[in-house]
Amino acid sequence: MLHELTVHNFAIIRDLEITFDNGLNVISGETGAGKSILIGAVNLILGSRASQEMIRTGTQEASVEATFLFADDSAAAVRRLETLGLEPAEALSIRRSISRSNKNRIFVNDQAVSLQQLQSLARGLISISGQHEHQLLLDSVLHLELLDNYGRLDPLCRRVREIHSEWTAVQEELRRLMRSRRERAEKLDYMRFQLQELEAARLVPGEDVDLEQERNLLRHAATLREAADHADQALYAGRGAVLEQLSAVEKDMEALLRIDGSLEPLSVHLQQARIHLEELVHGVQQYAHRITFDPQRLSAVEERLTQLQRLGKKYGGGLDAMLGRQEELKRELSGEDDADLREDFLNKSLDELRGRYLAEATVLSDRRREAARSLETEVRAVLGSLDMARARFEVRFHDTSRGDGGPVDAPFTASGIDRVEFLLSANPGEELKPLARVASGGELSRILLALKSLLGRQGEAETLVFDEVDAGIGGRIAELVGLQLKRLASRQQVICITHLPQIACYGEHHYRVAKETLDEETYTRIRLLEREERVDELSRMLGGIAISDTTRAHAEEILRRGEAGS
């Protein structure tokens, strides 16, 4: 409930404080007195766009503050405060200031918040319906939302939205996958070519080192053979070779041993030397036999090394880098198989989610149709109480092709498979028409009031504000509208700005807005009227400039009727 509204330096309002109460709060005043400015101030509290033009001339800053009171068991209030990290409280204070220096600020319970946070927090606190707000009723998207609110279908709507959100996410992932695969098509062809080239090379770890060593030996084969043969001659095959001279030494050692047996250890060393020299000779001879000058093999080795060098430049380094690239290509190309599996999984997920969506959306659609029939009946009843007893109101469903098994080619949206529109025939013999084609502003005003009356029962908003809902009506119809507003106010707080005494008389609290000029400055003031002052105000609204005793008697009469509620 909106409890207090404080406005400073806003448009032509310098300082204004209003305390509202439960029930029907009526605001009246001359045209141009500033009633619409109050609506602008409330809109600021709800998060509307601010501009420096709103600041009172001659001042640097304007501010608007509103205090809302909640019922003790108001879960909505708790949720609102928790969204901003605030402790639950019985009151909610929203303060917004506009500065010419563009230092605009917003505070909720003295905590600074952003405009987006304010808009989220304030949603549903107040519902403002003004002369221009009638246009909202012409939006068929809003019609579906109103129907869902009326039927209390939010849990079903939420399930449909959640499934649709999952479906959308899976569909987007599938799109990204397909787009990525298309973009990678040429790249993958090149990757396959690279893998084929590397595999055809039959790379072997360490092969480059072995080939370099072999090429070195082949290039120096003649030198190596010559050195090996020379060593063989010196050790064994040549005249005066080492082994030949060692034989002479052995004969001398035998002579020594026959005379001095203590030299036996030296004889052992001599025998070991012969063994080592013979092994050395054998090894040199074998090495010499292996060495051959093979130009064809040298050419093959050099060709292989050239191939490895060429591949190394292409694939970024030595043999190890090429082998690493080869394994990397295998992994990336095998990922295509994974992509096929992922695509198949995503398509199956889409089918499963679509089935779940259609099942839930069909249930929601059926419930909407039930709610629509009930809403039609209740709207017709309320319109009847507003002197439109022969009016016909219909909720029409569009573009939902339904077969025996459910929706067929139905729209696939977050709000479900339905598109609805409110239709009205205000007079007998007229065809049902969309609300956009209803010419009379008075008829639209009453339809708006009827819908608000019904939707108010569903907790659509804590406070309902009607800005000149009396547009286009008068006389008996205006009195019926006033009575309907009073009935509506028995369930929730209503604030109504009106020019008609037939409506104002039903207010439980009556405020008068007046414009005054002092020292060449214009001010807007508002105050709560006592009963006698209400008679004066109703007389002004009835009689204009000249107020007669008859006019005052009439004002007294309609006020008593309003107080009696009939």
CB-CB contact of 299 with 219 (8 Å): no
Is 146 inside any structural domain?
no
Inform me whether the pLDDT recorded for 210 exceeds 80.
Answer: yes
Residue 135 is predicted with a pLDDT of 56
494 in a structural domain: yes
Percentage of the chain beyond pLDDT 90 is: 22
Same domain, 195 and 328: yes
pLDDT at 220 over 90: no
In this prediction, residue 529 has a pLDDT band, given cuts at 50, 70 and 90, of very high
Give the pLDDT band of residue 77 (cuts 50, 70, 90).
low
Q: What pLDDT, on the 0 to 100 scale, is given for residue 163?
A: 94
Domain final residue, candidates 302, 333, 364: 333
Q: Are residues 22 and 121 in the same domain?
A: yes
Do 214 and 120 lie in a common domain? no
Which tokens go with 50? 């601010």
Which among 490, 424, 471, 134 has a CA at the least distance from the CA of 481?
Answer: 471
Q: Give the range of the structural domain holding residue 66, as residue numbers without chain letter.
A: 1-125+461-566
> What mean pLDDT do residues 24-29 have?
91
| pLDDT in the model for residue 191 | 81
Range name among 75-79, 115-119, 389-393, 481-485 with the lowest pLDDT average: 75-79
Q: How far apart are CA 454 and CA 476, in angstroms?
A: 22
Q: Is the pLDDT of residue 57 over 70?
A: yes
Highest mean pLDDT among 158-172, 388-402, 462-476, 508-522: 158-172
Among 1-15, 171-185, 234-248, 468-482, the range scoring the smallest mean pLDDT is: 468-482
- Where is pLDDT greater, at 525 or 518? 525
pLDDT surpasses 50 at 143: yes
Domain final position from 277, 310, 333: 333
Half-sphere exposure of 106 (CA within 13 A, CB side): 17
Is the domain of 117 the same as that of 194? no
More reliable by pLDDT, 195 or 82: 195
Q: Is residue 394 part of a domain?
A: no
pLDDT of residue 78: 65
**pLDDT higher than threshold 70 for residue 456:** no
- Span 499-504, average pLDDT: 90
Structure confidence at residue 405 as a pLDDT band (50, 70, 90): very low
Averaged pLDDT for residues 522-550:
86
Please tell me whether residues 120 and 232 are part of one structural domain: no
**DSSP state at residue 88:** P
* CB within 8 Å of 125: residues ≥ 6 apart: 2, 46, 68, 80, 92, 461, 462, 463
The pLDDT of residue 33 is above 70: yes
Q: What CA–CA distance (Å, rounded) separates 547 from 349?
A: 76
Which pLDDT band, with edges at 50, 70 and 90, does 6 fall under? Answer: very high
Band (pLDDT 50/70/90 cuts) for residue 400 is: low
Confidence of residue 136 (pLDDT cuts 50, 70, 90): low
pLDDT digits (tens, 9 = 90+) for 230-267: 998 898 888 888 888 888 888 988 888 888 888 888 88
CA distance 98 to 61: 6
pLDDT band, very low/low/confident/very high, at 132 (cuts 50, 70, 90): low
User: Residue 127 carries which side chain, given as an amino acid letter?
Assistant: S
133 found inside a domain = no
Assess if residue 455 is contained within a domain.
Answer: no
Please check the confidence at residue 39 and state whether its pLDDT lies above 80: yes
The first and second tokens of residue 162, run together, are 């959640």
* 311-335 mean pLDDT: 80
The reply to whether the predicted model has a pTM over 0.75 is: no
- 116 and 223 both lie in a single domain: no
Please state, for a pLDDT cut of 70, what percent of the chain lies above it.
90
Q: Considering 315, 333, 351, which residue would you say is the last residue of a domain?
A: 333
More confident residue, 503 or 81: 503
Same domain, 116 and 191: no
Asked if 105 and 212 sit in the same domain, the reply is no
Task: Answer yes or no: do 105 and 195 share one domain.
Answer: no
- Residue 458: per-residue pLDDT: 54
**Which segment of 159-168, 337-346, 347-356 scores lowest on mean pLDDT?**
337-346
Closest CA to 325 of 338, 335, 311: 311
Q: What is the pLDDT of residue 127?
A: 78
Residues 3 and 119 in one domain: yes
Least confident of 7-21, 99-113, 293-307, 461-475: 461-475
Q: Are residues 115 and 251 in the same domain?
A: no
What is the number of structural domains in the chain? 2
State the CATH number of the domain containing residue 493: 3.40.50.300
More confident residue, 61 or 447: 61
User: Is 368 within a domain?
Assistant: no
Residue in the block written with tokens 């068991």? 73
Distance CA 466, CA 136 (A): 14
- Residue 341: exposure state from Cβ atoms within 10 A (0-12, 13-18, ≥19): exposed
- Strand 433-434: give its sheet, edge to edge: 392-398, 419-425, 433-434
The answer to whether residues 448 and 470 touch, using CB atoms and an 8 Å cutoff, is no
Instruction: Read off the pLDDT band of 131 (50, 70, 90).
Output: low
Indicate if the pLDDT at residue 281 is higher than 80: yes
The pLDDT of residue 365: 93
Q: What is the 3-state secondary structure (H, E, C) of 434-477?
A: EHHHCCCHHHHHHHHHHHHHHHHCCCCCCEEEEECCCCCCCHHH
- 82 with 201, same domain: the answer is no
Distance CA 185, CA 143 (A): 48
As a whole number, mean pLDDT of residues 180-194 equals 77
- Residue 7: pLDDT band with limits 50, 70, 90: very high
On whether residue 344 sits in a domain, the answer given is: no
What confidence score (pLDDT) does residue 282 get? 92
pLDDT for the residue 214 = 78
Q: Is residue 145 domain-resident?
A: no
Q: Are 206 and 319 in contact (CB under 8 A)?
A: yes
